[in-house]
Structure 1
Amino acid sequence: MTTAYADGVDAVRADGALVHIRTAMPEDLEGLTELHDRASDRSLYLRFFSAGRECAQRYLPSLVRPADGDHHTLLALMGDRVVGVAEFERVSPEDAEVALLIDDEQQREGIGTLLIEHLAEAARDAGYRCFVAETLAENLTVLRLFTDLGLPIEHKFEDGSVQVRIQLQIGPGAIAASDRREAVADAASLAPILAPHSVAVIGASARPGSIGHQVLRNIVDCGYTGLVYAVNPHCDSILGVQSVASPADLPVAPDLAVIAVPAASVLGVVRACGARGTRGVVLLTSGFGELGEAGRAQEREIVRAARHYGMRLIGPNCLGVLNTDPAVRLNATFAALPMQDGGVALASQSGALGIAVAAVAARSGVGIAQFVSMGNKVDVSSNDLLMSWERDRRVKVIALYLESFGNPRKFARIARRIAATKPIIAIKGGRTPAGELAGRSHTAAAASSDVVVDALFTDAGVLRVDTIEELLDAARVLGSQPVPSGTRVAIVGNSGGPQILAADAAAGAGLDVVTLSDETIARLLEVAPRAASHHNPVDLSAAADAGQVGRAVQVLLEAPEVDAVLTVFTETAVGDPVAVLARIAQVALGSTKPVVATQVGGAVGVTPARDDSAPVPVFAFPEPAARAIAVAARYGQIRAAIPAPAVPLGGVDRAAARELVAAARDDGTDWLDADQTARLLIHYGITVCPQRVVGDADAAAAAAIELGYPLVVKAAGGGLHKSELGAVRVGIADERELRTNVAEIAAAVPGTDILLQPMLAPGTELIVGALQDQRFGPVVMIGAGGVLSDLLADRQFALAPLDEAAAARLVGRLRTAPLLDGYRGRPVVPRAAVADVIARIAQLVDDVPEIAELDLNPIICHGSTLTVVDARIRVAPAPRVPDPVLRQMADR
């Protein structure tokens, strides 16, 4: 840990400004001296318990000595100025004393919390368990800082001072506290970009058709409410906007600089904007990372410059940003985007796709609250935007087009929190059939990047869709209608054919075309006696007028067995579609259940009620309408899910498991042998078939007496595909047959040991697997096992760890799950028993990240007894996992 902060990291403080955190070096003595010289007498008294400055001066040289396991000092810098210092000193094998000092002018902006967070990571890496500190009882700021970390803390008051003891082990409280701080800070850091009070277009041009000209024109023509300036050394005015020669000449320091200059000039412009006091940059220029390593190196220089001056940056190679808020009205893009106010916030890595989505959204009645084209996203990412939109009251639905993730685990935590109140709909580009991990296990072969993304979205509560059309359709329903409390849909219309198609589409999308109760049918008979059908779908006949339609929709909305209503109407000579839709919208107003309308063959849009609130989305055909309701129902399930408190698994020996894997790694082991594998699984309470590993036929014959016939005989090598090598023999009935098969396996796999197991009775076979994904962390898999594993490819994935409830949901998503429930007379296998095994494997790979791949295939299930009969585990160096409470910009 002594060199991890040599180059430093950047972080966002509470007010949105940036700080740079790094290890103190001898050359920092002058900066630390200046920090202490600027400190007030009060600050020095609270830090050193002394009113004099001599103590501080004597102490300063110790802060810049080289970091080691006994001592570490971190600095916070804004630009080149030291604004904070925190250090720890060893006081016992497991305890370190911590202290800090923050510049008087920068206090209460979160710098101290950031320093302690990063210092705690250094201490954990050095093997410490606790921070201890002594502070004056009157130093409420520091006491609150320690408490707000969310770590277990003890206070002991004595003679006007407080002895503080902070446990460094990270738990849910610390993660939640860190996430709350980060959300507030990130939103503040993006405000100068998303809602600036002043904008400067650097590279503005008088030449129509140029990017710099179009951006400035959009800002002006769309009615931006703030101050706007142009920077062009050859013009005094462009489009009626004052133009200056350079950023240094701007009359005010702009909140936002929109940069549209050639790539070679970008770095100098970014530095000039920073020197002028700009707080945010939208970099439209292309020609960087998308072109290769040289461009990526340029991007790194640009990011370093932006962060040195405390600026957030969107891009490069992006379209720009849009905010339709009437108080802002900013179109800082070079596209003709509609400024229709609405509730959808859209982030896209593709500018062209963003243009298309915004345009189609406007035509279909979906207003855009904000749009951000992230481009190469060298700084601001989808994680940042999610946190900014989390508390934005204008944003009702968040839509994402993503091609990559910066920090997937952080994305999952952020999205899971937001999804409790706002739906997140996502398209993930770049589906690939090939797995990214070059492993030899079934799990690694099956875990393509796309199925792991599915697992991430499921874990995060994100609604994944496949097309732009589906994204917009779902956004229209979720942005205007109540969230359905279930999947039961009633369909009502005036023509049988389209309603049948609607019912088929609804069932295909996972909705339940519910059977109406006798009471509901009776009420429908009263309000629509001439209806062709009073069952679901309800066919009111072609002669139905707006009044009958409204009354029927009202009955269905009041039916307790109905969660959502889909209306399907075709224009007829006697029916006025405008009146019908208006009546549907009026009835839907104030309902707690969603109503979605279809005007078959008509225009896509919305039909507002008389007061223009809660518009009903209108579709041209029933199939997309049904699919959109299904997405909304999925969100209802996400929002209704109540996280269960974590219950520790019994029968787990983490220490022994870690020791076993560490010993194997020290020995240079790649695949664990059969005995190591069995012991590791037993440490996590997983039942393993009895076995013996032997070296020759004589030892096999002796082991067979202990195990009993019939036997399974196989090669013992952990990394082998035994069945493909002919190295698995079953049903061995006696010693003569045993010796013959041992000889044949030894010939097929020279040098292998032989594994013997008693042959279990046939049962339901499952596969449970796990792997460490380099981007997503530990992933677990459940599927049909044995010979069906590859044939059926019935597999489900989830991110680890997961509790038994989440594991049970994973089991339920298998196509073959009915086999566990006694399908056609098969023995019942309790799903809870299967979920328990999955949860234990998930905990194992989370606790022991050196487990790179794991296959349990098959697990043979007899009732509630699940026995692993074949297992393979590969170990490797653990991937570096970002500290979940560490706030730094580098890992986004």
Structure 2
Amino acid sequence: MGETPHSLEYPAYWEADVVLRDGTTAHLRPVRPEDSEGLARMHESQSQSSIYLRFFTFKSSLSRKELERFTHVDYRDRVAFVVLLGAEILGIGRYDRLDDPLEAEVAFNISDASQGKGIGSILMEHLAVAARENGIRRFTAEVLPENRKMLSVFQESGFEVSRHFDDGVVAVAFSIDPTAKVRAVMESREHRAEARSVAELLAPESVAVIGASRQWGSVGFALLQNIIEGGFTGPVYGINPEALEVAGMISRGTLAEVPGPVDLAVIAVPAAEVPAVVEDCARHGVKGLLVVTTGYADAGQDGLVRQRALVRQARANGMRVIGPASAGLVNTAPEVSLNASVSPFLPSRGPVGLFSQSAVIGVTLFAAAHRRGIGLSSMLSAGNRADVSGNDAMQYFEDDAATAAVGVYLESFGNPRKFSRIARRLSRSKPVVVARSDVMGRRLPPGHETRTTQAPVGAVDSMLEQTGVIQVENHDDLMDLMQLVSCQPLPAGSRVGVVGNSLALNRVVMDATERHGLTVAHTQFVPDLDAEHTVDEAVHAVGRAVTAAIDTGEVDALLVVTQAGMHQQSGDADRLAAAIEEASRERDVTVLASLTGVLDLGYRSTTLRGSGPAAGDGGLQRGVPVFSSPEQAARVLSRLVWYCRWREAEAGVPVEPEGIDRGRAEDLIERHTSRAEGTDLVRLTAAESEELLGCYGIRVLPAVRFSTEDEAVRAAEQLGWPVAVKAVESYLRHRLDLGGVRLNIVDAESLRRNVAQMRRVLEPYGSPDLEVQSMARPGQACTITALEDPLLGPVVSFGIAGDAVDLLDDWVHRVPPLTNQDLDRMIRAPRASAKLFGYGGLPSVDTGALQDLLSRVAALKDDHPQVARLRFNPVLASDRGVTVLSVEVDVANAAQRTDSARRAMRD
């Protein structure tokens, strides 16, 4: 096929950094003519067997003509990607369009040294996306039967592969549509690779501190000292060319002087020196970098340029980067004991994994965990989050047996749709607490480079709620939850028992508990025994009351609240907390305490008290969480109860609506977006909208515009009586009060009369155009919108039409893909949704039909980022189906979405 000037344009946006199966990184990009020399070197290093499996014969070298064919492509009918580590080609994959323009043949060649790293699967994913973009719908390939590795790549891709044996080769063929199974396979591969890449950073076998200093108080001095005194189990090297000795050990001038390999390099040199240090790390095979140096995106535009260059340099050489401006990382596993952080001590071992972004927040969380007695499994401060992100950390925490609960402090979103997928999966097995500000996503903190959202207010909240994470507003609330989940079992329900030594305080606690949506199922009063008994007897009395309350079997959680009198002397509060912990140990009831009015000046409220050693990896710490007020304890408990309800609810399965023609929809959208100039939107006509929506099984009730009364009558007779007449402008077409719509017109005479009256009434509004439409079955009017957000990607919103959405902002927002449970909860979430379920004696609507429509809208928006905005208003939901009365569709040339189907890391 001929090459056009457009097809020869190099598609730079196809370039991507990827994580390989062993946790290292590589750079993937379209092939270029100058790759011929590298491809020749890769071929000459291959074994005879590998060459035979690829070419069906042995050839010691590639001819000039072959190299030219492999490296000169048109990026449309012939596309090839190479995966590079530095300048070395690790693998190449290509497709060539066949005589059938919807079909292409694919082939792969992976270097012997790089096989088993998942490169073939990565190339397959990126080739499929590029092919779909170029109008190809099906891949074929011919593979020798003995090439089992390549056959496995096809079989394990998630595509529905057919294969048959023909003339000594296995012919495979498959559609490259991105089905739910394909997405699941891609996400699983991505998860394994990214989790391992973080694991390699958190559990290095050796560490070098580059910029280690002899000057007390300097960052380089503190980092080296903290690693050594934390008891790191592997060799530690201090790199400083200007010192003979640092931290009591011989200093090395460069990595070349280190006697063994280095897994993790901790970089604490000025920003100007970092590029040379990274180059040296690449030369010596360092696996990962922890950059505490500041002066990057946190220092303005020039720093941002340096930061991008740092990430490119590291990733191209197989290294991941934590930072820059990181507060460090911690792994308390006894076999590692790594404290590569600014914290002067290694935190105690426990079940909590923490992730933060800026160094200041990282230090704050370090301190809060120590002050409250919360044990950590690991902690990671991403600093400017130039590479390793919260998404990466959560993938690691999901697989880490030592982590039973996860705390994440977010200051910005990098890829929220990916966050949504990971968090939803992680929340099914471990509680995830996310602290964020109300303006996150709308305003960027210093040093963070990402998009901001233009989605409706509440969309970010809805997205997080959809994932099951527990949302809090600040680091104190985050640590409150961590304090509880680190030492107590999850509540089985919302039944709460109250134990206290004050009837008045018990009443206050009961009120607070019910105010937070919990049920008080049991109360127990413990008389203040100080007047006649010893403190020990009083403490034991509380312990017995706790045991008795648990033994009733009536409570899922217990709030223990005591006032002054039982803990006046030094140590009394700790003894009381220890007794509560002892009474509740190894019981399936969640126990919290609030010891009010403590006079001991050494007592610290809001902490984990009475604690002993952790119960082992993945187990809970011993102890009871003590809060400064009963209100605080009730609020924390209510959030955990909400999470447990979410987790116990059926997760649902992704919905794949039937009868979808994605290929035809893509062709239509490409035709319409060709009319767009720059970032301008193109509003589709009614006919164009109907054709596009029809590809997704969505039907709009026909409407016909008219100029004269005679035209209106002819249209009504064609559509069938009765009909409605509506103003075309969206702000008038549903306004009976403004005269913008007339309903149930049954004959020609009535139609002419109504048209004349409407034109008189609407004259103050500019005499808008009118249209006639068939009458729909009466029902509840709903509104559905969908848009492409710069940050969140596709967002689908649902509400009950009218004042509920127009004045009260009573919407629910969700980020596709959606499960059947998402759809069910979506139509029930708006406060006005009672109108759908028999409110006021009206019949309930056909919720199945409403969910089906939502699923089709979500699928269309998820598949096509070029569809910038969809608005269905109104949708009439009746007891027998739904009817779309009006739709507006805007398309545009889409900027690259935050989560392309190409599985790539993002800056």
TM-score over 0.5 (shorter chain): yes
Letter in 1 for 2:481: A
Equivalent runs, 1:409-488 vs 2, <5 Å: 409-429=417-437, 431=439, 448=455, 451-488=458-495
> How far, CA to CA, are the matches of 1:34 and 1:686 in structure 2?
54
- Does the C-alpha gap of structure 1 residues 367 and 101 become closer, same or farther in structure 2, counting only changes over 3 Å? same
Contact 1:350–1:401 under 8 Å retained in 2: no
What's 2:602 paired with? Answer: none
- Does the C-alpha gap of structure 1 residues 160 and 302 become closer, same or farther in structure 2, counting only changes over 3 Å? same
**Alignment partner for residue 588 of structure 2, among 583, 589, 592?**
592
Contact 1:673–1:717 under 8 Å retained in 2: no
Letter in 1 for 2:138: C
What's 2:601 paired with? Answer: none
> What secondary structure, in the 3-state scheme, does the structure 1 residue paired with 2:426 have?
helix
**Alignment partner for residue 193 of structure 2, among 166, 185, 190?**
185
What's 1:37 paired with? Answer: 44
Measured after TM superposition, the shift of residue 325 of structure 1 is 2.6
Measured after TM superposition, the shift of residue 366 of structure 1 is 1.0
What's 2:300 paired with? Answer: 292
**Alignment partner for residue 50 of structure 1, among 50, 57, 71?**
57
> How far, CA to CA, are the matches of 2:672 and 2:230 in structure 1?
65
Contact 1:354–1:373 under 8 Å retained in 2: yes
> What secondary structure, in the 3-state scheme, does the structure 2 residue paired with 1:792 have?
coil
> How far, CA to CA, are the matches of 2:376 and 2:625 in structure 1?
15
**Alignment partner for residue 693 of structure 1, among 675, 684, 705?**
705
- 1:888 equivalent to 2:904? Answer yes
Letter in 2 for 1:351: A
Contact 1:726–1:748 under 8 Å retained in 2: no
Measured after TM superposition, the shift of residue 426 of structure 1 is 0.7
Contact 1:351–1:373 under 8 Å retained in 2: yes
> How far, CA to CA, are the matches of 1:285 and 1:21 in structure 2?
28
Letter in 2 for 1:570: Q
**Bigger mean CA offset, 714-723 vs 308-317:** 714-723
> How far, CA to CA, are the matches of 1:588 and 1:810 in structure 2?
39
> How far, CA to CA, are the matches of 1:378 and 1:647 in structure 2?
35
**Alignment partner for residue 741 of structure 1, among 758, 773, 794?**
758
> How far, CA to CA, are the matches of 1:352 and 1:399 in structure 2?
16
Matched-pair identity in %: 35
Equivalent runs, 1:341-740 vs 2, <5 Å: 341-429=349-437, 431=439, 448=455, 451-514=458-521, 536-543=522-529, 549-550=542-543, 552-554=545-547, 556-557=549-550, 562-573=555-566, 580-602=576-598, 603-608=605-610, 613=615, 614=620, 615=622, 616-649=624-657, 665=673, 670-673=682-685, 691-696=703-708, 699-700=711-712, 714-717=726-729, 728=740, 735-736=752-753, 738-740=755-757
Letter in 2 for 1:588: S
**TM norm structure 1:** 0.87
What's 1:62 paired with? Answer: 69
**Bigger mean CA offset, 609-618 vs 781-790:** 609-618
Structure 1: 5+ residue stretches without partners: 437-444, 515-535
> How far, CA to CA, are the matches of 2:698 and 2:153 in structure 1?
43
- Does the C-alpha gap of structure 1 residues 705 and 787 become closer, same or farther in structure 2, counting only changes over 3 Å? farther
**Bigger mean CA offset, 542-551 vs 92-101:** 542-551
Letter in 1 for 2:606: V
Measured after TM superposition, the shift of residue 456 of structure 1 is 2.3
Measured after TM superposition, the shift of residue 453 of structure 1 is 1.7
- 1:809 equivalent to 2:816? Answer no
Letter in 2 for 1:643: A
Letter in 2 for 1:331: N
Letter in 1 for 2:653: P
Contact 1:714–1:745 under 8 Å retained in 2: no
- Does the C-alpha gap of structure 1 residues 506 and 235 become closer, same or farther in structure 2, counting only changes over 3 Å? same
Measured after TM superposition, the shift of residue 756 of structure 1 is 4.1
What's 2:857 paired with? Answer: 841
Contact 1:67–1:73 under 8 Å retained in 2: no
- Does the C-alpha gap of structure 1 residues 20 and 725 become closer, same or farther in structure 2, counting only changes over 3 Å? farther
- 1:83 equivalent to 2:76? Answer no
> How far, CA to CA, are the matches of 2:316 and 2:566 in structure 1?
69
What's 1:531 paired with? Answer: none
**Bigger mean CA offset, 205-214 vs 395-404:** 205-214
- 1:232 equivalent to 2:255? Answer no
- 1:21 equivalent to 2:28? Answer yes
- 1:98 equivalent to 2:106? Answer yes
Measured after TM superposition, the shift of residue 313 of structure 1 is 0.9
Measured after TM superposition, the shift of residue 798 of structure 1 is 0.8
Alpha-carbon displacement from aligned partner over 1:508-535 (angstroms, at most 9, x marks no partner): 3333334xxxxxxxxxxxxxxxxxxxxx
- Does the C-alpha gap of structure 1 residues 697 and 670 become closer, same or farther in structure 2, counting only changes over 3 Å? farther
Alpha-carbon displacement from aligned partner over 1:595-640 (angstroms, at most 9, x marks no partner): 2233234533334578864423222322222222222223323332
Measured after TM superposition, the shift of residue 805 of structure 1 is 2.6
Contact 1:399–1:426 under 8 Å retained in 2: yes
Letter in 1 for 2:221: H
Contact 2:483–2:607 under 8 Å retained in 1: no
> How far, CA to CA, are the matches of 2:762 and 2:339 in structure 1?
71
> What secondary structure, in the 3-state scheme, does the structure 2 residue paired with 1:642 have?
coil
What's 2:813 paired with? Answer: 797
Contact 1:786–1:858 under 8 Å retained in 2: no
Contact 1:403–1:430 under 8 Å retained in 2: no
Contact 1:401–1:428 under 8 Å retained in 2: yes
RMSD between superposed Cα atoms in Å: 3.7
Letter in 2 for 1:755: E
What's 2:447 paired with? Answer: none
> How far, CA to CA, are the matches of 1:274 and 1:319 in structure 2?
23
Alpha-carbon displacement from aligned partner over 1:90-126 (angstroms, at most 9, x marks no partner): 3442333322222222222222332233233333333
Alpha-carbon displacement from aligned partner over 1:274-302 (angstroms, at most 9, x marks no partner): 22322211222222223333222211221
> How far, CA to CA, are the matches of 2:71 and 2:844 in structure 1?
67
> How far, CA to CA, are the matches of 1:561 and 1:834 in structure 2?
40
- Does the C-alpha gap of structure 1 residues 447 and 714 become closer, same or farther in structure 2, counting only changes over 3 Å? farther
Contact 1:24–1:64 under 8 Å retained in 2: yes
Equivalent runs, 1:200-211 vs 2, <5 Å: 200-211=208-219
Measured after TM superposition, the shift of residue 415 of structure 1 is 1.8
> How far, CA to CA, are the matches of 1:589 and 1:405 in structure 2?
39
Contact 1:673–1:716 under 8 Å retained in 2: no
> What secondary structure, in the 3-state scheme, does the structure 1 residue paired with 2:251 have?
strand
Contact 1:78–1:310 under 8 Å retained in 2: yes
Contact 2:574–2:610 under 8 Å retained in 1: no
What's 2:4 paired with? Answer: none
Measured after TM superposition, the shift of residue 398 of structure 1 is 1.5
**Alignment partner for residue 774 of structure 1, among 790, 802, 824?**
790
Contact 2:732–2:738 under 8 Å retained in 1: no
> How far, CA to CA, are the matches of 1:876 and 1:727 in structure 2?
34
> What secondary structure, in the 3-state scheme, does the structure 2 residue paired with 1:69 have?
coil
**Alignment partner for residue 151 of structure 1, among 132, 139, 159?**
159
> How far, CA to CA, are the matches of 2:490 and 2:797 in structure 1?
31
Alpha-carbon displacement from aligned partner over 1:336-377 (angstroms, at most 9, x marks no partner): 465222222221122212211221122212122222221221
- Does the C-alpha gap of structure 1 residues 877 and 61 become closer, same or farther in structure 2, counting only changes over 3 Å? closer
> How far, CA to CA, are the matches of 1:686 and 1:774 in structure 2?
26
Contact 2:792–2:898 under 8 Å retained in 1: no
Contact 2:144–2:169 under 8 Å retained in 1: yes
Alpha-carbon displacement from aligned partner over 1:716-748 (angstroms, at most 9, x marks no partner): 145889869967255798544531431453552
**Bigger mean CA offset, 71-80 vs 648-657:** 648-657
> How far, CA to CA, are the matches of 1:136 and 1:705 in structure 2?
65
- 1:874 equivalent to 2:882? Answer no
Contact 1:730–1:759 under 8 Å retained in 2: no
